[in-house]
Amino acid sequence: MPATWYEGPFLGNGLLGSGIYAEPGAATKAIRFNVQHSEVQDHRPEFGSLFGLARLPIGYFTLEPVGEITGLDWRLALHDAELTGTLTTDQGTLTLRALVHDNRSVLAVEVTPSEGERGFRWVFHPADAISPRAAFKPLPDGYRGNPPAEVAEHDGVTAAVQPLLAGGQHVTAWRERTRGRTRTLYVHVAHSYPRTTALDRALKAVRAVDRLPYTALTVDHRAWWHAYYRKSFLSLPDARIQRFYWIQLYKAASAARRDAPVMPTSGPWLEPTPWPNTWWNLNAQLEYWLIHGSNHLELDAITRALSEFRDNLAKEVAPTYRADSLGIPRTTDPHLVNGAAGTLTGYGVGIPGQDPPTPEIGNLTWALHNVWLSYRHTLDESILRDVLFPLLRKAITYYLHFLEPGPDGKLHLPATFSPEYGGNSRDCNYDLTLLTWGCRTLRESAELLGIDDPLAPRWRDVLTKRVPYPTDVNGFMIGADVPFAKSHRHYSHLLAVYPLYEVTGRTPGERALIETSLAHWVGFEGALQGYTFTGAASMSALLGKGEDALKYLGQLMTRFIQPNTMYKESGPVIETPLSAAQSLHDMVCQSWGGIIRVFPALPAAWADLTVHHFRTQGAFLLSAVRRGGTTRWVRLVSEAGAPCAVRHGIAGPVDVRDGRGRALPYADAGDGTIRITLGRHETALITARGDRPDLTIGPVEPIGDPPRWGLPLI
């Protein structure tokens, strides 16, 4: 029996989410189906993002059989996004199927009881509508929970209406239908603010769906999920990591959609947590990295949210700077509001050198790096023109207000805060790196868009006169005033290495700096957490050290990942397992700096590997096969006709042919890299000269058969 959130199956569609496990304290009596929704939040900004704007718990259903539960046999089918199986009691069995429908946003649970279990029942338990942080931290002065939910029947549909003190409501509506011996529960959640329209919407949603038998609901639901998985394919021989990877793809689509809120720390599911909102100094960024290589831009909520709610970003900087600057604080609600308007400062992003205790300046620029990745992987000019350039211009302008020339003739930053290392520092590496990347990206973007920007000379000055990144004998420091000298889970001081690739090891000195910094960072035990090891794995992959990358992923799996592949610190946090999938991507393919690197950091044990329609920067779809430790072929399909440079990894001379088998000219760029001219939708196939390998895409044979994820068979 899964006893906790970290052991049970989970369902979701980016909005509605359900985690399923034994009812705490009554494991033989009931099964809990948690019901949570990523849009359900409070609306009292005077109490800040973690209390007044926090996500609010909704409640849960218990499936209560007639007899005592003696066992279960459940399987979460990733391909169909459905839970199926049997619950056994001392009175009989309950055979169930459950899903959270992809687009109808309904939880449907079909139960077929044996004769002795015909009297099973469903019971809804509304949760107290109070910030989950209240269980971990003292309440702000004047803060209190919302009034209790009101449960009533409405012409055959039951609804729990949760009024909010700030106005508005959220509503959970449900109905159970009986067809023969089978009973199906249909549940929908709606949220409205400031109006009280959620009740009508929830009732209509249930009435629109409860006439459909469960099997009818599965048709378009499965069709969406089956098409989702076919957008890319990755097969490797490490069965444990292979299974983990497919679960992360399932988890990402269960937790994210372009039109859903940016994932909060626990996704659409809400369990007891001190972090009941969206975090912008690492969590949101890591949550979405895997969507690019896996070819799932339909999940990109960050680009949509930053664009849609950009006006709120101006309100998060001090009034003096709002005319030309934007920022995002550490935490916000789905509308990118922090709630700092009710604080003494009246804004969420601190002022370098002035605002105690932690002027955390770079979060918006780092979030815009995710937008840049979406642009680079699609070359969709509307992302560059309408979102990235105007927002990044104002994020970097905020930095420019504080840059000062020093006696050394270099440009310096006043004291800022490096997440999450204690102590502010001048010339903080977190901010210097983001400032550098931002200025370079703005210059390149302006050129691509044909914009003669008056700030271009300032960006150029930053790139030529910016103080060097502070380092010492141990590698990158936190900043000029603060060495890296204690255990620290966050790699904020190492963003120049990853994910920004400003320092890549292109010279022996750079490589030594990366190696020294990485070893020093992970060498302090005590505060290391799961995403420490995903960051270390990706940095190792940058250096081509596949064995080290695999070692770090192994430590993550052994020390931190839970039976259902979820992850916890003080509460559930979703970013680490999802970022582990990106670390795997970094071992399989890298495309920074204008070069596609095929299989750049594979461990020796991964002699066989297949990848298909892996999306790279430059808007290419990569397919490649490795057999017996040798790359047999590489195929690239160009979606945008961008310049193509590929480090293919095939030893010796190569043949390059187009989609019809005709020879394609190419140029040798050195270091195993070739340059190919491809137009839009054209294909290049690279093989060893004279070789005609089998071009079939298929799975590779696994090495061994480690335990599956989930609870073990008994």
Q: What is the pLDDT of residues 566-613, one digit of tens each?
A: 999 888 999 999 999 999 999 999 999 999 999 999 999 999 999 999
Cα torsion 135, 139, 143, 149 to 10°: value is 10
Residue 310: φ, ψ to 5°: -60, -30
Decide: 93 and 118 in contact? Cβ < 8 Å: no
Residue 712, pLDDT score:
84
Query: How much is the average pLDDT of 88-107?
Result: 97
Whether the upstream peptide bond of residue 357 has omega within 30° of 0, thus cis, is yes
Confidence of residue 714 (pLDDT cuts 50, 70, 90): confident
Query: How much is the average pLDDT of 342-367?
Result: 86
Residue 343, pLDDT score:
62
Average pLDDT value for the chain: 96
Rounded CA separation 391/385 (Å): 10
Reduced to 3 states, what is the DSSP secondary structure of residue 72?
Answer: strand
Residue 342, pLDDT score:
53
Stretch (H or E) spanning 312: helix 310-314
Show contacts of 327-330: CB within 8 Å, 24+ apart.
Answer: 327/361, 327/363, 327/364, 327/395, 327/398, 328/280, 328/363, 328/364, 328/367, 329/49, 329/280, 329/360, 329/363, 330/279, 330/280, 330/281, 330/360, 330/363, 330/419
Which segment of 114-123, 193-202, 350-359 scores lowest on mean pLDDT? 350-359
Query: How much is the average pLDDT of 521-548?
Result: 94
Q: How far is CA 606 from CA 294, 569, 706, in A?
A: 19, 31, 16
Residue with tokens 């999940």: 299
Stretch (H or E) spanning 415: none
Question: pLDDT per residue over 467-512, tens digit each?
Answer: 999 999 999 999 999 999 998 899 999 999 999 999 999 999 999 9
Residue 704, pLDDT score:
85
Q: At 134, which amino acid appears? A: A
Higher pLDDT, 150 or 345: 150
Residue with tokens 């006439």: 211
Confidence of residue 344 (pLDDT cuts 50, 70, 90): low
Q: How far is CA 346 from CA 59, 201, 315, 339, 619, in A?
A: 34, 36, 9, 9, 42
How much of the chain, in percent, has pLDDT values that exceed 90? 94
Residue 347, pLDDT score:
84
Residue with tokens 């073990």: 712
Question: pLDDT per residue over 256-289, tens digit each?
Answer: 999 999 999 999 999 999 999 999 999 999 999 9
Cα torsion 441, 444, 447, 452 to 10°: value is 40
* Full set of structural domains in the chain with CATH: 10-229 (2.70.98.50), 232-289+560-714 (2.60.40.1180), 300-490 (1.50.10.10)
Please name the residues in contact with 254: beta carbons below 8 A apart, sequence gap of 6 or more: 10, 11, 12, 13, 14, 17, 81, 100, 267, 268
Per-residue 3-state assignment (H helix, E strand, C coil) for 252-309 = HHHHCCCCCCCCCCCCCCCCCCCCCCEECCCHHHHHHCHHHHCCCHHHCHHHHHHHHC
Is residue 410 pLDDT above 90, yes or no?
Answer: yes
Confidence of residue 406 (pLDDT cuts 50, 70, 90): very high
